[in-house]
Structure 1
Amino acid sequence: MSRRLLCLHGHFYQPPRENPWIEAIEVQDSADPFHDWNERIAVECYAPNGAARLKDGRGRILDIVDSYLHLSFNFGPTLLAWLERHRPDAYARVLDADARSLELRGHGNALAQGYNHAILPLASPRDRLTQIRWGLADFRRRFHREPEGFWLPETAADAATLEALAGEGLRYTILSPYQAVRIRAPGGEWVDATGARFDPTRPYRVRAGARELTVFFYDGHIARDLAFGDALGSAAALLDRLQAGFDPGREHDELLTVAVDGETLGHHKKGADEVLAGALRELARRPGVELVNLGQALDWIPVEWEAEIAEGSSWSCAHGVERWRSDCGCSAGGAEGWTQAWRAPLRNALDGLRGQLDAVYEREAAGLLPDPWRTRDRYAEVLVDPERRDAPDFVRREAGRALSAEESVRALQLLEMQRQGQLMFTSCGWFFSELSGIETVQVLRYAARAVQLAREVAGVDLQPGLERALAAAPSNDPALANGREVFRRLVEPSVVSLEGVGAHLAIAASVRPVPDAGWVFCYAYRVEGRRAAAAGPVAVALCRLQLESALTRETLDAVACVLHFGAADFRCGLAPYRGPEQLAELEEALLARSPAQSLAQLLRSVDRFFPGRDYGLRDLFLDERRRVAGTLLEGTLRRYEDGYREIFEDNRRLMEFLREIDSPVPGPLRVTADVTLTARVLRVTGAARRGEVDLAAAEVELGATVELARRLGAHLHIDAVRRDVEQLVEDRVAALVAGQAPAARAAELAGILSLAERLGLRLDLWNAQNRVWAWAGSAMVTLDREATAELARRLWFDEAMLLARAGFATPA
């Protein structure tokens, strides 16, 4: 009998969203209630697929499984870098799934990918190789093996791209069936395959120049049903759709490959992670179909047939790769009448800038790096380390000699300039409908950072030429007109210098506690000699601060002065640090004399010592700006709360009486009840989280407060309360699984979850469930049967399944 093999592939990717000047993603309000879109999609997709729930009809958890163990997958290197820093739990499951699949199948599930999702057929030959080599280096560092397969961004391919993959030792890639032009059997004639009219359930050999590469064509109909149809509506629907991909009339071993954007599995389609997990569980039980990865499939199925592909084709543009260089008609979103006539001018502008950056790189690297382009390819060795610890040693090795500190900084600036030049070709910049969209603005920010570095390291200003080229790119927004205005209004205000980062730190340190040393974004800092005084209504703060960029090793050593005039009115100046005598002089002039001098005198002194530009609250990066604003508001809000509480207590009996006689409570009094009772709940939950009150006492007080709110018809604002209670749950689970008085911790945990139910809180129990499930399967369980059963009920497990996992025999 012919074999039936099934490979499900998930392409997991998000565009890099980091601010190029700080290497961090700033808050994105459109992702609310999450900080940013990466965080949101990680919660909805990347983490759940590594710990997917199998549930019964009541919604109770029967099992928690890692779907990555059964998927072929690729993760974009920039996304993996974010996961490593911000979701190490999800990141670890991805790496572990590849390692375990290597043991079980002889081949790992993971494929490599181009570094930042640039469209490789549109890249220069040199950039194409760099994108591939950076992606391979990233893969080796994370998965500790050589990759066999490579996912091409948007599956965009041509002969040169496939030849480059084969030249780097790759065995295979995955393409859309609509990219095939013709096929032929061994010794046979070529047959037309356009329109996906061929058998996609076999591997094909594709000649690329002097080399060959194996191509797996995924099933286009099933992939479309998963992405846009109902195939992920239930496990049964998914199984039926997959089963339909096999054909009893085929007289060969069938390999059904199905590829889909990984974000479909939980982000685009809610609950699809659980549907997939259920289908994978059922597939493992069914005879006749075997789940495989593609390396494993190549061991079993010989590559005998040949295929030719369309030059410059992809899976997401019916016009080849035109979506990334012309107004081809493909777009996502946008209003009626909008065009993408901006795409070609944007591509031309960035292609032109790339040429100029390359010329700067070659010229300035002369005398520093014997082989600058080989060094650029090898720069991936530095990029894969989040802290860039090896950067100075790397450029010294590449230079082949000892470099001065200034030379090392210049070499790293040049390499960072090249990295930003790569990032500005991230495909998402062209994918959507409007030039001023966040994805296109992001690639222009990378361009602006590259321009800044070229100016700093070589003294050349590439911005006027870039702006002239961008002026040819028309915006659909009449208020913005064209790309030059988009750049000036949406990109240029983001540009910041090392001094600007120092001002950010100085203002933040004047408002909230900041350690004397640490990290601010991608900069190591040290703050010394802090001094503060008041000059009437003005607060004056002085300090010396030192910064070093982890990326380029540029340094700043400056004295900072921050004036706070009240509310949101700040003024910060920086001057180069010249020694202790300078600080002493500043202290005498600005602090010691402060009580006696007028505001005008103080400002004249500040202008004399700090003649450069002033920085204010608007110059802070967005997250810190909001933190400072929150700190400034705390005192004001606290005063309002005190006033509300007084009014509430004076009128509480009246409000209760009005409710008793079914008479409406006036709006202003309802507000006092909302604010006062919410503050009371927050005070109690916060104290419980900090261990300042007994949980039993907290439960009594919270229960009374909730009952009072119910009687008065008050609305409790529970978002902040939810965070406190979730932290209580996390703390008790951590203590439970660590074996710290487990009976007591389990009882406390059950009490907290009961309290949350009474408060009407919908807690995020995902992590707590994962940890308890893993604990139940370990040898650490010392709870009795009833306590374990209560834990199961409270955490939404099927009671019998958790008890069995914990080693309790099923009662007769």
Structure 2
Amino acid sequence: MPRRLLCLHGHFYQPPRENPWIDEIEVQDSADPFHDWNERIATECYGPNAAARIKDGAGRIVDIVSGYRHLSFNFGPTLLAWLERHRPDVYGRVLEADAWSLERTGHGNALAQAYHHAILPLCSPRDRRTEIRWGLADFQRRFHRAPEGFWLPETAADSPTLAALAAEGIRFTLLSPYQVRRIRLDEGDWRDATEARFDPSRPYRVRAGDRELAVFFYDGHIARDLAFGQALSTPEALLSRLEDGYDDTRGHDEILTVAIDGETLGHHKKGADEVLAAALRRLAAKGEPRIVNLGQALELVPVRWEAEIAEGSSWSCAHGLERWRSDCGCNAGGEPAWNQAWRAPLRSALDGLRDRCAALYERASAGLLADPWRARDRYVELVLDPERRDVERFFRVEAARPLAREERVRALRLLEMERQALRMYTSCGWFFSELSGLETVQVLKYAARAIQLAREAAGEDLEPEFAEALGRAPSNVPALRDGRRVYEQLVRPSVASLERVAAHLAIAGLVQPLPDSGRLFCYRYRVRGRRVGRAGAATLALGRLELESLATGERLDALVCVMHFGAADFRCGVEPWPGEAAQAAVEEALFARGEAASLPELLRAVDRAFGGRDYTLRDLFLDERRRVAEILLADSMRRYEYDFTRIFEDNRRLMEFLRELDSPVPGPLRAAADVSLSRRLSSLTRRIGAGEVALRDGEPELRGTVELARRLGVGLHLDPVRRQVLEVVEARMADVAAGRGAAARAAELVEVLSLASRLGLTLDLWAAQNRLWDWAGANGAALDRDSLAALGRELWFDEETLLARAGYAPLAPEAIA
């Protein structure tokens, strides 16, 4: 009997969002309440699929499984780098899933991907090769094996791109059924296959020049129903829709391949991660169709048919590749009347900048790098090592000769310039509706960083010509007018120098002291001879700051001075370090009179020593700017809270009387009650978490405060309370898992969770549930049966399942009775 095979593929990807001057993602308000979109989608999708819940009819957890074990998947390399740093729990489960599948089937679930998610058919041949090689190097570093398959960004393909994959040893890729032009069996006659009129349930051989590779084509109808229809609404709906993908009349082994954006599973469709996990569980129990990855499928089913692809095609543009180079009508978001006439001029401007950078790179690296383009292909080794530990080894291989330090810095600047030139082709820059959108501004920031590095490495200014070319890209926003205005207003202010990073450190360090040495963003720093004191009406800090870029090796040795005049009024100066004697003289001039110094006198002394530009709070990078603002606001907010509390206490009886009469409470009094009662709740939960107040002692006041707010018709700000309670939950759960007074901590945890429920606090228990489930499987019997059952109930587990996982035998019927 012909076999039925099933491969579900998830393309997990987020565009790189890092500020190119600090290589960190700054806060994105549109992702609220999360810091940024990576963090939000990791919480809604990447994490849940790593630990998907399987639930019973009552909504209780009966199992936690890794969806990645049964998915074919690719993760964008830049997303994996972010997960490695910020969500190592999820990152570890992704790697584990590939290793698990490799051990059991001989083929890993993971596919490689082009590094920066550029549209490869639109890249120059040299850039296409580098994008592929960087993607392969990233994959090998993370998964410790060579990839068999490769995901093409947006499945954008043409013959040169497929040939480039085959040349690097890739065996197969995955495309849309609408990317096929014609097919044939062995060397038989060609058949028309346009509009997906062919059998997608088998692998095909595709020739690309003198090379070939296997291609799987996913089922377009089912993929569309998963992404945009109701196929992921329930496990039953998913299984039914997958069943429709098979056809008994085909008479051959069928490989049903379905590919979707991985973010569909939990981010775009809430709960889809659980639907998928439940459906896969049922399929595994049934045994058919057999769940496989594409490497398995290629081993099980011989490739006898050949396909010819539609040149320059993709899965997300009906017009081929036009979404990334013309006003084809494909877009996302924006206003109905907007157009994308900006796409072609933007690509033209970036192509021109890329070519000028390439020429400069070749010319300026002559005598520094033995083979500049081989060095660029291998530069990924340093990119993948944020601490740049292998710089010495890199230059031993790639340098044309032993290089002096200044020459190394120049070579690294040139290589970084080329990295930014690759980054600026991230496909999302063209995907959406408007030139001034978040994603397009991001690629322009990479362009600005490349321009800055070209200027620093070779003294060439590429910006005027680039800005002029951008002026031909029309914006849909009248106030911005065109790409040149977008660049000037939304990109150029972001350009940062080493001096600005130094000012950032100095100002932030005055508000909240920093260690004397360490790492900040992609820089190492050391502070020497720092002195802080009062000078007249200002707080003054002076010191020597040594700063080194991890990316380029460039250094700054500076004397920095910060004056704080109160509130948000800062002034910072940065000058080359003048030597110890000169620093001592400046220090004497600034601090000599202490609090007796007059403000004009102080300012004149600072102006004499620091004649360059002034840096202010606005020059801090965004996250630190907001953190400093919060610190500066804290004292004012405490005073306001005290005033509100006094107003509330003075008028509490009046408010209760008005409520008894069913009369409205004036807005100012409601605001005072809101602030006062919210503050009371937050303070008490903080003290309980710190162990200053026992939970049983604090519960009456907590419940009384919530009840009082209800009686007065006051809305409470519960987010700070929720965060504090969740911190307590996770801390207690960590103690249980670590065996630190497990029984007592478990009992406290049950009390905390029960109280949270009574207070109406909705908590995100995902991390605590994962920890309990993992711990129960390893040594759950270290906790007595009743304690484990009680804790499991509060964390929404099915008790018997959790107890069985911990090794407890089921209770006899008479014991239950």
- Normalised to the residue count of structure 1, the TM-score between the two structures is 0.98
Provide the rounded CA distance (Å) in 2 between the counterparts of 1:550 and 1:393. 15
Provide the rounded CA distance (Å) in 2 between the counterparts of 1:304 and 1:286. 30
Contact 2:202–2:216 (Cα < 8 Å) also in 1: yes
Q: Which residue in the other structure is 1:268 paired with?
A: 268
CA deviations over 1:66-93 (Å, ceiling 9, x no partner): 0100000000000000000111011000
Provide the rounded CA distance (Å) in 2 between the counterparts of 1:385 and 1:96. 21
Q: What SS is found at the alignment partner of 2:500?
A: helix
Q: Which residue in the other structure is 1:644 paired with?
A: 644
Q: What SS is found at the alignment partner of 2:558?
A: strand
Provide the rounded CA distance (Å) in 2 between the counterparts of 1:380 and 1:559. 34
Q: What SS is found at the alignment partner of 1:562?
A: strand
Q: What SS is found at the alignment partner of 2:121?
A: helix
Provide the rounded CA distance (Å) in 2 between the counterparts of 1:6 and 1:713. 56
Provide the rounded CA distance (Å) in 2 between the counterparts of 1:667 and 1:165. 66
Contact 2:688–2:694 (Cα < 8 Å) also in 1: yes
Provide the rounded CA distance (Å) in 2 between the counterparts of 1:417 and 1:203. 41
Q: What SS is found at the alignment partner of 2:117?
A: coil
Q: Which residue in the other structure is 1:710 paired with?
A: 710
Range moving further from structure 2, 646-655 or 511-520 = 646-655
Identity of aligned residues (%): 69
Q: What SS is found at the alignment partner of 1:394?
A: helix
Question: CA shift at 1:784, angstroms?
Answer: 2.0
1:42-61 pair list within 5 angstroms: 42-61=42-61
Contact 1:472–1:483 (Cα < 8 Å) also in 2: yes
Q: Which residue in the other structure is 1:419 paired with?
A: 419
1:140-155 pair list within 5 angstroms: 140-155=140-155
Contact 1:183–1:193 (Cα < 8 Å) also in 2: yes
Q: Which residue in the other structure is 1:699 paired with?
A: 699
CA deviations over 1:350-383 (Å, ceiling 9, x no partner): 0000010001111111111110100100111111
CA deviations over 1:390-437 (Å, ceiling 9, x no partner): 234312331154321111111111111000000000001011111111
Contact 2:369–2:375 (Cα < 8 Å) also in 1: yes
Question: CA shift at 1:516, angstroms?
Answer: 1.6
Determine whether 1:210 maps to 2:210: yes
Question: CA shift at 1:809, angstroms?
Answer: 2.1
Provide the rounded CA distance (Å) in 2 between the counterparts of 1:82 and 1:558. 32
Contact 1:176–1:314 (Cα < 8 Å) also in 2: yes
1:492-507 pair list within 5 angstroms: 492-507=492-507
Q: Which residue in the other structure is 1:13 paired with?
A: 13
Q: Which residue in the other structure is 1:166 paired with?
A: 166
Provide the rounded CA distance (Å) in 1 between the counterparts of 2:531 and 2:486. 42
Provide the rounded CA distance (Å) in 2 between the counterparts of 1:367 and 1:743. 68
CA deviations over 1:551-571 (Å, ceiling 9, x no partner): 111111111111112211111
Determine whether 1:520 maps to 2:520: yes
Q: Which amino acid aligns with 1:705?
A: T
Q: Which residue in the other structure is 2:245 paired with?
A: 245
Contact 1:444–1:491 (Cα < 8 Å) also in 2: yes
Provide the rounded CA distance (Å) in 1 between the counterparts of 2:682 and 2:583. 44
Q: Which amino acid aligns with 1:749?
A: L
Q: Which residue in the other structure is 2:428 paired with?
A: 428
Q: Which residue in the other structure is 1:737 paired with?
A: 737
Provide the rounded CA distance (Å) in 2 between the counterparts of 1:385 and 1:658. 65
Question: CA shift at 1:120, angstroms?
Answer: 0.5
Range moving further from structure 2, 750-759 or 724-733 = 750-759
Q: Which residue in the other structure is 1:97 paired with?
A: 97
Q: Which amino acid aligns with 2:633?
A: L
Range moving further from structure 2, 484-493 or 644-653 = 644-653
Q: Which residue in the other structure is 1:789 paired with?
A: 789
Contact 1:392–1:408 (Cα < 8 Å) also in 2: no
Deviation >6 Å, runs of 4+: none
1:309-324 pair list within 5 angstroms: 309-324=309-324
Contact 1:542–1:562 (Cα < 8 Å) also in 2: yes
Range moving further from structure 2, 762-771 or 550-559 = 550-559
Provide the rounded CA distance (Å) in 1 between the counterparts of 2:28 and 2:389. 29
1:319-358 pair list within 5 angstroms: 319-358=319-358
Question: CA shift at 1:583, angstroms?
Answer: 2.3
Provide the rounded CA distance (Å) in 2 between the counterparts of 1:279 and 1:603. 71
Question: CA shift at 1:537, angstroms?
Answer: 2.8
CA deviations over 1:754-794 (Å, ceiling 9, x no partner): 12123221111000000001111112432222211111111
Q: What SS is found at the alignment partner of 1:249?
A: helix
Q: What SS is found at the alignment partner of 1:779?
A: helix
Provide the rounded CA distance (Å) in 2 between the counterparts of 1:482 and 1:283. 54
Q: Which amino acid aligns with 1:190?
A: W
Contact 2:13–2:75 (Cα < 8 Å) also in 1: yes
Q: What SS is found at the alignment partner of 1:777?
A: helix
Provide the rounded CA distance (Å) in 1 between the counterparts of 2:711 and 2:392. 67
Q: What SS is found at the alignment partner of 1:778?
A: helix
Q: Which amino acid aligns with 2:472?
A: A
Question: CA shift at 1:443, angstroms?
Answer: 0.4
Question: CA shift at 1:661, angstroms?
Answer: 4.4
Question: CA shift at 1:548, angstroms?
Answer: 1.1
Question: CA shift at 1:386, angstroms?
Answer: 3.0
Contact 1:417–1:454 (Cα < 8 Å) also in 2: yes
Contact 1:395–1:411 (Cα < 8 Å) also in 2: no
Provide the rounded CA distance (Å) in 2 between the counterparts of 1:144 and 1:174. 22
In structure 2, the CA distance between the partners of 1:582 and 1:626, relative to structure 1 (3 Å rule), is same
Q: Which residue in the other structure is 2:136 paired with?
A: 136
- Normalised to the residue count of structure 2, the TM-score between the two structures is 0.98
**Equivalent residues, number:** 812
Contact 1:163–1:208 (Cα < 8 Å) also in 2: yes
Q: Which residue in the other structure is 1:589 paired with?
A: 589
Contact 1:739–1:780 (Cα < 8 Å) also in 2: no
CA deviations over 1:625-665 (Å, ceiling 9, x no partner): 11111001000111111222222333333333444444443
Provide the rounded CA distance (Å) in 2 between the counterparts of 1:419 and 1:708. 59
Over aligned residues, Cα RMSD in angstroms? Answer: 1.3
Range moving further from structure 2, 447-456 or 660-669 = 660-669
Q: Which amino acid aligns with 1:44?
A: E
Contact 1:205–1:305 (Cα < 8 Å) also in 2: yes
Q: What SS is found at the alignment partner of 1:389?
A: coil
